Amino acid sequence: MISYDLISRRYGRLEGPELLEPLIREVFPGRIALVSSFGTDSAVLLHMVSEIDRKTPVVFLDTGKLFGETKRYRDDLVERLRLERLETVTPLAADERTLDAQGDLWMSNPDMCCHFRKVEPLERALRGYQAWITGRKRVHGGSRAALQTLETADWRLKINPLAGWSEEQISEYFDAHDLPRHPLVARGYTSVGCMPCTSLPSPDGGARSGRWSGQDKTECGIHWSVNGRPMKRSA
């Protein structure tokens, strides 16, 4: 693999498809995956990747707590964009039995719930890949406000092709390519994750203000390094 410094010098100023194309085709062929939640903006990256190489693996975390609308949207987009490698990953059944037998861990310990439903499955899914693509943007604010298009985390390159994109650019891309919206957008949702932890955004909040509403939690943990945040082990 060429060094991160060289990749950064060559490609660090690019974004969108201009960044994705050389990384998918030339730098990481067969060793790069798109991680998609099939949420409100996901169709943009899915479309870009499908235009470059439909065989690019698309990793989807099925946490067991998703909206039915998200799964139907996933099926629609996979068919419409003719994506050939959807890789669905789920939590370990043993973890679900021992950690969340009642299915309500999200209420008492959402960090632990996210860890076994998202962080651990994603780490499993990304074994064998040297790079992954995410849809995070600086306009999301919080810890994302200083986001770069290229990062390294846990020995992998993390690519954020839309880091500098505005909500208007996202909307224009949907229109230009006639992409369908997530069904919950019509009901006012601006960011969609697991059902128990997603609500409508607050009027004066940002697009992600409906995620873990009323808590100080703003990220599920898949974008923290392995040792980036102490886990609360007790429920």
Annotated catalytic residues are 220
Least Cβ distance, residue 67 to ligand SF4 (angstroms): 11
- The one-letter amino acid code at 165 reads W
Q: Which is nearer to ligand SF4, 101 or 146 (CB)?
A: 101
Binding mask 106-135 for ligand SF4 (x = CB under 6 A): x---x--xx--xx-----------------
**Does residue 157 interact with ligand SF4 by CB under 6 A?**
no
Q: Is the dihedral of CA 61, 63, 66, 71 positive or negative?
A: positive
Q: How far apart are CA 223 and CA 137, in angstroms?
A: 12
Stretch that binds ligand SF4, among 37-45, 133-141, 146-154, 188-196 (CB under 6 A): 188-196
Closest residue by Cα to residue 90 from 63, 123, 126: 63
Token digits for 3?
């060094």
**Does residue 137 interact with ligand SF4 by CB under 6 A?**
no
Residue 179 DSSP class: P
Residue 224 burial (CB count, 10 A): 14
Q: How far apart are CA 6 and CA 31, in angstroms?
A: 18
- Tell the burial category of 83 from Cβ atoms under 10 Å away from its Cβ (0-12, 13-18, 19+): buried
Q: Which is nearer to ligand SF4, 33 or 194 (CB)?
A: 194
Out of 131, 220, 222, 223, which residue is the one contacting ligand SF4 (CB under 6 A)?
Answer: 220
**Does residue 191 interact with ligand SF4 by CB under 6 A?**
no
**Does residue 63 interact with ligand SF4 by CB under 6 A?**
yes
Token digits for 104?
């309500």
**Does residue 165 interact with ligand SF4 by CB under 6 A?**
no
Question: Scanning residues 73 to 112, which ones bind ligand SF4 (CB under 6 A)?
Answer: 106, 110
Binding site for ligand SF4 (CB under 6 A): 63, 65, 106, 110, 113-114, 117-118, 193-194, 196-197, 220
